[in-house]
Amino acid sequence: MAGAAIALAAQHCHWEPSGAYTGELSVPQLADVGCTYGLVGHSERRQGFGETNEQVRRKTAALLAAGLRPIVCLGETFVERRAGKTEQVVAEQASIALQGLTDAQVSRVVIAYEPVWAIGTGKTASPDEAATVHRFLRRLIAHDHGDAALAVPILYGGSVSPETVEGLLAQPDISGALVGGASLNVSTLVAILERAARVGVRGAEPSLSTHVSPSGS
């Protein structure tokens, strides 16, 4: 959408440009309809459809090769968090997703930290909890890709609401928000946008991204 502050994103794609993959969406199709971004690795895809870290890597590379920007979703389950494995889980997810990419390609990736236990549950990570993981992810990417990490927006997702968005975006390590179920209600989404605008955002676009699935998650 040239000249607009709104860009179109897809929730899913296949890594192959064509072939016998009935029911799948190819990256060239997404580009043809005007998508700028493609969501990959969302927990619902991982859990409900068996999407693996390796498949996320392939999709990330395919989107970049076609000139689109992948929004790579990462996050731990409640059991993993209680076991103290949050950093281990997100490090593995991030490292595999970015494997084989050049620094220039990495600078075009968007990361979305979405703790699985917060998605669609009404539970939101506290600003400090979320920021801690965001800082860890930034250091991890910088270790492998240097200054390219500074260009990577790291969004927070997981029951983002008008009540929580200001506290989250006030954290300097949180670049923006990935809004799910709340974007189904126009008045709620507008309230999120208004409160986000009060805080301002840091880093490259997108500062606020929404995605809506049939379950409204």
Residue 114 a catalytic site member = yes
The CA-based dihedral angle spanning residues 8, 198, 73, 121, taken in that order and rounded to the nearest 10 degrees: -110
Residue 134 a catalytic site member = no
Which residues 6+ apart lie within 8 Å of 209 measured at CB? 9, 37, 71, 110, 112, 155, 176, 177, 178, 179
* Residue of 44, 51, 76, 114 marked catalytic: 114
Q: How far is CA 10 from CA 41, 146, 204, 216, in A?
A: 12, 29, 19, 15
* Residue of 42, 134, 145, 211 marked catalytic: 42
What is the C-alpha separation between 168 and 25, in angstroms, rounded?
Answer: 33
Neighbouring C-alpha atoms within 13 Å toward the C-beta of 109: 32
Is the alpha carbon torsion for 126, 127, 129, 133 positive or negative?
Answer: positive
Residues classed as catalytic: 42, 114
